[in-house]
Amino acid sequence: MAGPSYSVDLAQAMVVDTYTPLEWLAVAPVALPMAAGALCLMFRSRGDLAARITVLTLGLLVLLNVGLVHTVVQQGTLIMAMGNWLPPFGIVFAIDILGAVLALTTSVVGLIGAIYASGDIDIGRRRFGFYTFYLLLITGVSGAFLTGDIFNLYVWFEVLLIASFGLIILGGERAQLDGAVKYGVLNLLATTLFLVAVGYLYGLVGTLNMADIALAVPQLPAAAPIGVVTALFIVAFSMKAAAFPLNFWLPASYHTPRIVVAAIFAGLLTKVGAYSLMRIVVMLLPETRDLLADVILWVAVLTMLVGAFGALAQGEVRRLLGFVVISGIGNIFVGVAVGSSEALAGSIFYAVHSIIVMFGLYLAAGAVERIAGTSSLHTASGLYRLEPALATLFLVLAFAVSGLPPFSGFWPKVMLVQATIGAGLGWVAAAILVTGFLTTIAMGRVWLLVFWRDAVNGAPLRSQATPDASRASWMVPIALVVVIVAGIGLMPDGLMQASLASAQSLLDPQAYVNSVLGEGGN
Amino acid sequence: METVFAVLVGIFFASGIYLMLSRRTVRILLGIVILSNGVNLLIFTAGRLTVAVPPVIPQHLPTPENIVANPLPQALILTAIVISFSLFAFLLVLSYRAFQDLGTDDVDEMRDAEPAERRLPPMEY
Amino acid sequence: MNTIIFRTIAPFLAALAGLFSVFVLLRGHNEPGGGFIGGLIAASALAIYGIAWGVAPVRRAIVVHPITLAGFGVFLASVSGFLSFFAGSAFLRGLWISVPFFGTELDLSSVLLFDIGVYFTVVGTISTIGLTLEEPEVD
């Protein structure tokens, strides 16, 4: 078995390492929501209590994650060995800037979603464990972003998959069951393919620790079928991320569940696939990534265009947004395909932006549905007169998702376009710009039809019946998202530097490896 | 020995994929079960096969004396079995409910989430 | 399934199996056993009771809904991971403490707490499934 050579120092394994409270921040994004989810399960008959627990936990988590990002920026990669079983044998959480930023984004989105849910999820769904599943989903997503062990990554994938199954069928309407069958089967298939790839990789390198794999892969004999393994990883993660041609499950299912569930799915789940692609294919298998770069590039461009054209052809807001999610995934894949640090930084920035904006757009679509009673572009109309504030917020989100300044979507697109032109791929830059243009048309049309157009005949107007309390429950979350989107757009420096640093550490994982395995790691 | 297992894994995969190409949900699910069992076998084989040497460390030693079977793949498989079992149970119930509510187990006829006649958005403002 | 023999024996059998499940749970300390199979044995004890006397008496016997037990188990297991925070060690690190207990040494550990969490989770989940299957269908 071709593995790295290390001498096991038994004395070191027996030592009780001291961990500072700062290092404990590494497990908070996983342990806190899990414990809170268990509490919500115990008190699920008291829906209000579960809602309060969820909001409080996620609020605390946002604060802790801010601390986590700060610590990682200050001290470099943070390591937490579970049960003090040291790497490469034990499971470690290894948090670099990429993981920390994404975990922070996850908790922010989770908190806003929990606030929105308090006005959107009825008692029946609370009883069936909405908040437990919701917290479990946050647990799984955070775990996937933080873990430093490839099999552990598979386990987190399954955790978030189980939670998402619970969320997608909550309510049990016909369309939900239909969508859940397709969502469930294809996502289970994707994780199974991921497991196949993990099995092969383990057979080749004899280790599951990511840092250890990064050391072992270059030492493999030339005949080792690492290309097959990489291809399998790419297929599995592309399916998870809904990249063309494996994207058809997403528009078939994302419009069926409750809007807050669809929002959290659209924000987080596809990005977990994209993140894993970066972490595993770019960081651990760089040579075979170069080999398959052209394939990924074509996938990326086709995904962008299919998403944009698909969005243009939809007559219903939620389904249209499903295609916009897909076109965003295409943008993220461009950076993975180009592989330079600027391009990857653009991808990472785009991923963070896309999590927040897609989440916000779904919430806004939910608000439209509440007021107009429909999300069809044929009947929803005249909302500007009723809700000018919502119309403004929606317009900002539409600008952001299309990549127009001064909002968060502009900067990652600039970075990606610059990087592609710098790599001599002008046609890819053109595709990114065309996609942005088409998205502008699609989103602009939504805004014109739903908000600006006079109320068409038969447009149901139930706004008078909407009580004020529930108005705050959707207006505040959407406004929060818009504040974040505008904040990133106006002050992109911090996030830009963080994504550049993340990209560099993905391309040159030596520092990461050293902090996991110690300085004598190689 | 590994060759035999490799062929066996291949047969599992082939039958799993064949079943998943069907349009009936039950067959798709059976295909998934066979596929995930194939994956378990694959991980098992990837950990290298040995005969009758349990990975037990004698009490007076810190490490095993001789070459022993690799316990890690078994731990991985146990995890994978539990997870895929529970997901399969969920999908089975889901497809049963879908059959009850939608009246079909043919995925081509499940058009509730995506109606066949799709309306394009209004072309004029 | 409601023969007089079975109905008479079932409560004793269930009580015995419940006791045995605790024994297996604690035996997992140093020997084969532990929370998972202990939980399975306890769940089968509830199942036996349920088969003999129906689902309602079982639900009354365990007071809370079984899924609440499962939630409690997961919570307990997560809490056991946090104990090592106060020892300045890593998450989920096993901590051991010996306390004198009526003349003998009693070894307590955070691992045991975790195992008890597993026990409750398994009891809760399996008996939720079991009781749901035993209940006559309403529709």
- Residue A17: pLDDT band by 50, 70, 90 thresholds? low
Q: How far is A457 from chain B (nearest CA, A)?
A: 14
- Most confident range (mean pLDDT) of A140-144, A243-247, B65-69 is A140-144
The phi and psi torsions of A95 (rounded to 5 degrees) equal -110, 110
**Taking the CA atoms of chain B, what radius of gyration do you get in angstroms?**
22
The rounded mean pLDDT for chain A is 87
Q: Which two tokens stand for residue A378?
A: 């044929």
The answer to whether the Cβ–Cβ distance between A313 and B62 falls below 8 Å is: no
Mean pLDDT throughout B64-88? 87
Question: How far apart, in whole angstroms, are the C-alpha atoms of residue A266 and residue A360?
Answer: 10
The answer to whether the Cβ–Cβ distance between A84 and C70 falls below 8 Å is: no
By C-alpha distance, the chain A residue nearest C73 is A38
pLDDT of residue A458: 60
Could you give the maximum distance between any two Cα atoms of chain A, in Å?
79
Which DSSP state fits B106? B
Q: Which two tokens stand for residue A305?
A: 């265009």
Amino acid letter, A277: L
Q: Which two tokens stand for residue A19?
A: 């961990």
Q: In chain C, which residues have pLDDT < 70? A: 1, 137-139
Helices then strands (H, E): number in chain B? 3, 0
Residue A88 preceded by cis peptide, ω within 30: yes
CA atoms within 13 A on the CB side of C93: 24
Q: Which two tokens stand for residue C5?
A: 């023999």
* For chain A, percent of residues with pLDDT exceeding 70: 93
Tell me: the pLDDT tens digits for C82-118?
888 887 778 888 777 777 778 777 777 888 899 999 9
Domain spans of chain B, in order of start: 2-52+68-106
By C-alpha distance, the chain A residue nearest B109 is A178
The answer to whether the Cβ–Cβ distance between A1 and B48 falls below 8 Å is: yes
How would you classify residue C103: left for phi > 0, otherwise alpha for psi between -120 and 50, otherwise beta? left
pLDDT of residue A1: 39
Using DSSP's 3-state secondary structure scheme, residue C101 falls into strand
A317-338 vs A410-422: helix crossing angle, rounded to 10: 40
Q: How far is A315 from chain B (nearest CA, A)?
A: 4
CA distances from A63 to A170, A403, A482, B38 (A): 30, 29, 20, 44
Q: Which two tokens stand for residue C16?
A: 């015995």
Instruction: Identify whether the C-beta of residue A143 lies closer than 8 Å to the C-beta of residue A30.
Output: yes
Tell me: the pLDDT tens digits for A439-482?
999 999 999 988 888 777 665 555 555 555 678 888 899 999 99
pLDDT of residue A105: 94
Q: How far is C90 from chain A (nearest CA, A)?
A: 5
Name the burial class of residue C11, with classes exposed (0-12), middle (13-18) and buried (19+) by CB atoms within 10 angstroms of its CB.
middle
pLDDT of residue A157: 93
Domain spans of chain A, in order of start: 306-458+468-509
How would you classify residue B52: left for phi > 0, otherwise alpha for psi between -120 and 50, otherwise beta? left
Q: How far is C81 from chain A (nearest CA, A)?
A: 8
All partners of chain C with 3 or more CB pairs under 8 angstroms = A
The shares of helix, strand and coil residues in chain C, as percent rounded to the nearest 5, are: 70, 10, 25
> Mind spelling out the 3-state secondary structure of A418-439?
HHHHHCCCHHHHHHHHHHHHHH
Pairing mode, if any, of strands A78-81 and A92-95? antiparallel
Question: How far apart, in whole angstroms, are the C-alpha atoms of residue B64 and residue B57?
Answer: 5
Contact partners, residue A49, CB within 8 Å, separation at least 6? A43
Question: How far apart, in whole angstroms, are the C-alpha atoms of residue C7 and residue A487?
Answer: 69
Q: Is the pLDDT of residue A111 over 70?
A: yes
Contact partners, residue A459, CB within 8 Å, separation at least 6? A372, A379, A380, A381, A382
Instruction: Identify whether the C-beta of residue A302 lies closer than 8 Å to the C-beta of residue A253.
Output: no
Looking at beta carbons, which residues of chain A come within 8 Å of B121?
312-315, 320, 377-378, 445, 449
Chains A and C: how many Cβ contacts under 8 Å?
64
Q: Who among C74, C91, C94 is closest to A27 (CB)?
A: C91
- Residue A3: pLDDT band by 50, 70, 90 thresholds? very low
What is the CA A66 to chain-centroid distance, rounded?
A: 18
Question: How far apart, in whole angstroms, are the C-alpha atoms of residue B55 and residue A392?
Answer: 65
Looking at beta carbons, which residues of chain A come within 8 Å of B98?
177-178, 180-181
- Residue A76: pLDDT band by 50, 70, 90 thresholds? confident
Higher-pLDDT residue of B61 and B19 is: B19
Question: How far apart, in whole angstroms, are the C-alpha atoms of residue A499 and residue B5?
Answer: 44
pLDDT of residue A469: 62
Q: Who among C75, C79, C81 is closest to A42 (CB)?
A: C75
What is the CA A409 to chain-centroid distance, rounded?
A: 15
Using DSSP's 3-state secondary structure scheme, residue A25 falls into coil
Instruction: Identify whether the C-beta of residue C88 lies closer than 8 Å to the C-beta of residue A19.
Output: yes
The phi and psi torsions of A149 (rounded to 5 degrees) equal -135, 130
Looking at beta carbons, which residues of chain C come within 8 Å of A79?
none
Question: How far apart, in whole angstroms, are the C-alpha atoms of residue C138 and residue A490?
Answer: 59
Instruction: Identify whether the C-beta of residue C97 lies closer than 8 Å to the C-beta of residue C108.
Output: yes
Tell me: the pLDDT tens digits for A80-104?
888 878 878 888 899 999 999 999 9
A410 closest CA partner among A392, A396, A423, A393 = A396
- Residue B1: pLDDT band by 50, 70, 90 thresholds? confident
CA atoms A76, A77, A78, A81: torsion sign: negative
Correct CATH for B2-52+68-106 of 1.10.3470, 1.10.287, 3.40.1440, 2.40.160 = 1.10.287
CA distances from A336 to A6, A211, A279, A407, A418 (A): 31, 20, 10, 23, 15
ipTM reported for the complex surpasses 0.90: yes
Q: Who among A10, A192, A251 is closest to B62 (CB)?
A: A10
Q: Is the pLDDT of residue A9 over 70?
A: no
- Residue A522: pLDDT band by 50, 70, 90 thresholds? very low
